[in-house]
Structure 1
């Protein structure tokens, strides 16, 4: 068996001698997959805002009626508009991510 620099073992007893077979002794995996990177962490943060911060803010809306009325909103308006903020942000993040992945 010949071991090349990619971590694969080429076995001459297989049907195709050029077909790479994973080396079970080394336990190496291919590093060709996409990395999580900065855009992945931005997405995780935005999902955290959408699923943790905004629902927490919705629970606190009745206690913040003075602040809500200073913006000219009723409590009903605040219940309807507050979930729109992460929805628009997640939509913009999806467009940004798609454009970024096409340019790479």
Structure 2
């Protein structure tokens, strides 16, 4: 009996990560047009840097742990941020002036 671990093959490591149906990543079809969605775990081609406070980072980590512990969802912080962005942008598309983003940004002025 060998003590070497079983490793995944090349087919498993280099599998396509995008949707097979031709819909662009991050979008799903709905009545009236595409709906925003965060992109699933995949290689992303663009990067931004966002600075957050210690409290915001701690809250994000608490949310990640709650998703894992309470809801059984294992996601990284990047995925959570992409989903949050998708939710806020979808709300802006749907509600415009009355969106959460517009109201919160106006409140900060």
Asked if Structure 1 and Structure 2 have the same fold, meaning a TM-score greater than 0.5 normalized by the shorter chain, the answer is no
Question: Max radius of gyration: which structure?
Answer: 1
Task: Report the TM-score, using the length of structure 1 for normalisation.
Answer: 0.26
Which has more helix, going by share of residues?
1
